[in-house]
């Protein structure tokens, strides 16, 4: 890690805060430092879920998504606190303020991670010294630890930041990927989840190197364009720029559809809204996001447009909940005038990994049964090529939705 000064190309940082929620709580209350701490929904109940935990708790076998009763069993002296999202947002705002002092090319990924393009930042000592000073400043001023990955592109920077935690700084060059990345198990690759890893293993792909050397045609047959994208990244190829405007994508997920003709037919309207909700849910799950506000948009035949929304005390990402709210909003605010366009949006978005699923939503058993159903549907979808239940809902091609989602996230970040 002596120097990183490429003659050409980019220099990208990936900043990843370590155990962010737990670290914020320890900064707020220093007496918690060095102790096994977990953030969990409903800590008074045995069925709460671990959102995140300190390294001391992880050393005792406590991990994210573990049921609270199991965590307490593994670590009897575990300290459990409820999530304080206002506190975490405030800390996040301060972090991003420090990052913007380095460069305006800051792309927030979530509340606790970001990419920076420091290619044009002429810092004394070069990028490595900049990373050290930035890490030290975040720790000194905010009492929060972070890891930083340094690489020529976003994918390699993300992989690098995961290699040394906490308070690590790691350089990953393209020429090093064969020795460092390729031997890693395929599920260690950013962008490869459990389900994708399972599919890849059916192709005898066990490591990132196996993926890097697999025939792209075979990968595209199984995973579509994502197969080629993953192969490229396994070979260190990632042309995505650091885009500060990408922040807009993460605040809401919505779809709208102009109807083939103005209508007052409630069955057609409900059918379109159902398809719109289905599309929103698919995108939310793909982006691993949940939201707690559902918005209905109605444009009438005279082009007058109204939007009505309802905010819940918990986060959702399933169609049944979204549609129940959409129906309620429709019943309360549609005056039976002819409808020209409809829209459904999930707002107040958060990353799923940062939300305690059990805050108010489901008991652990109900959520477990829902997961089993989702797995069954996915297996049938893989077998028949599409969701076999979707065909029963709407076969009218003219009523299928088109994507038109809103882009607004981290309003505080953008307004500063």
In the numeric block, the tokens 């849910």 are attached to 281
Q: How far is CA 34 from the centre of its chain?
A: 29
- C-alpha–C-alpha distance, residues 128 and 133, integer Å: 9
For the entire predicted model, the pTM comes to: 0.63
**375: how many CB neighbours lie within 10 A of its CB?**
11
Mark whether 113 is an active-site residue. Answer: yes
Q: Which CATH class is domain 182-234?
A: mainly alpha
pLDDT at site 163:
96
- C-alpha–C-alpha distance, residues 108 and 158, integer Å: 13
**Per the annotation, does 112 bind a ligand?**
yes
Q: Containing H/E element for 258?
A: strand 253-263
Rg over alpha carbons for the chain, rounded to the nearest Å, is 23
- C-alpha–C-alpha distance, residues 251 and 345, integer Å: 10
Helices (H) and strands (E) in the chain, counts: 15, 14
- C-alpha–C-alpha distance, residues 7 and 85, integer Å: 43
pLDDT at site 393:
39
pLDDT at site 354:
64
In the numeric block, the tokens 């994708």 are attached to 196
Q: What tokens does 92 get?
A: 């996040």
pLDDT at site 364:
38
CB within 8 Å of 379: residues ≥ 6 apart? none
DSSP 159-173: HHHTSSTTT-EEE--
Q: Could you say which of 25, 44, 113, 368 is catalytic?
A: 113
3-class SS of residue 110:
strand
CB 191 within 8 A of CB 233: yes
CB within 8 Å of 81: residues ≥ 6 apart? 25, 37, 38, 39, 40, 43
- C-alpha–C-alpha distance, residues 116 and 134, integer Å: 12
Q: Which positions of the chain have pLDDT values less than 70?
A: 1-8, 42-47, 247-250, 353-416
pLDDT at site 8:
65
Cβ-count burial 94-119 (b if 16+ within 10 Å, e if not): ebbeebbebbebbbbbbbbbbbbbbb
Residue 310 burial class via C-beta count within 10 angstroms: exposed 0-12, middle 13-18, buried 19 and up: middle
Domain ranges within the chain, ordered by starting residue: 1-177, 182-234, 246-415
Q: Which CATH class is domain 246-415?
A: alpha beta
- C-alpha–C-alpha distance, residues 284 and 286, integer Å: 5
Picking from 303, 341, 147, 156, the residue whose alpha carbon sits closest to that of residue 232 is 156
Q: What tokens does 164 get?
A: 């040394």
Q: What tokens does 50 get?
A: 């671990």
Q: Do domains 182-234 and 246-415 have the same CATH topology?
A: no
pLDDT at site 383:
53
**Per the annotation, does 210 bind a ligand?**
no
- 1-177 has which CATH code? 3.30.70.270
């Amino acid at each position: 890690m002596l120097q990183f000064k490429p003659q050409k190309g980019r220099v990208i940082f990936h900043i990843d805060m370590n155990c962010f929620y737990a670290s914020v709580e320890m900064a707020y209350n220093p007496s918690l430092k060095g102790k096994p701490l977990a953030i969990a929904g409903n800590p008074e109940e045995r069925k709460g879920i671990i959102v995140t935990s300190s390294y001391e708790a992880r050393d005792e076998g406590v991990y994210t998504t573990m049921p609270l009763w199991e965590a307490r069993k593994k670590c009897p002296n575990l300290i459990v606190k409820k999530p304080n999202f206002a506190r975490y947002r405030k800390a996040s705002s301060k972090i991003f303020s420090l990052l913007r002092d380095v460069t305006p090319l800051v792309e927030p990924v979530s509340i606790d991670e970001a990419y920076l393009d420091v290619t044009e930042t002429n810092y004394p000592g070069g990028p490595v010294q900049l990373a050290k000073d930035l890490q030290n400043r975040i720790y000194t001023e905010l009492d929060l630890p972070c890891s930083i990955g340094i690489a020529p592109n976003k994918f390699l920077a993300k992989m690098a930041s995961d290699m040394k935690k906490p308070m690590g700084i790691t350089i990953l060059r393209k020429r090093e990927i064969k020795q460092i990345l390729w031997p890693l198990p395929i599920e260690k690759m950013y962008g490869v989840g459990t389900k994708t890893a399972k599919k890849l293993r059916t192709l005898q792909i066990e490591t990132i190197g196996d993926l890097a050397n697999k025939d792209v045609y075979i990968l595209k047959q199984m995973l579509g364009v994502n197969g080629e994208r993953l192969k490229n990244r396994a070979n260190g190829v990632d042309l995505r720029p650091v885009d500060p405007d990408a922040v807009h994508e993460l605040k809401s997920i919505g779809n709208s559809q102009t109807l083939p003709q103005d209508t007052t037919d409630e069955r057609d309207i409900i059918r379109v809204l159902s398809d719109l909700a289905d599309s929103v849910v698919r995108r939310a799950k793909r982006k691993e996001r949940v939201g707690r506000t559902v918005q209905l948009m109605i444009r009438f035949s005279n082009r007058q447009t109204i939007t009505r929304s309802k905010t819940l005390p918990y986060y959702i990402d399933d169609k049944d909940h979204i549609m129940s709210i959409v129906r309620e909003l429709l019943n309360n605010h549609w005056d039976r005038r002819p409808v020209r366009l409809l829209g459904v949006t999930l707002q107040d978005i958060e990353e799923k990994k940062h939300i305690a699923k059990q805050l108010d939503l489901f008991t652990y058993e109900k959520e477990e049964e829902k997961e089993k159903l989702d797995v069954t549907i996915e297996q049938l979808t893989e077998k028949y090529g599409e969701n076999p239940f979707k065909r029963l809902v709407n076969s009218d091609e003219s009523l299928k939705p088109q994507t038109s989602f809103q882009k607004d996230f981290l309003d505080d970040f953008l307004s500063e």
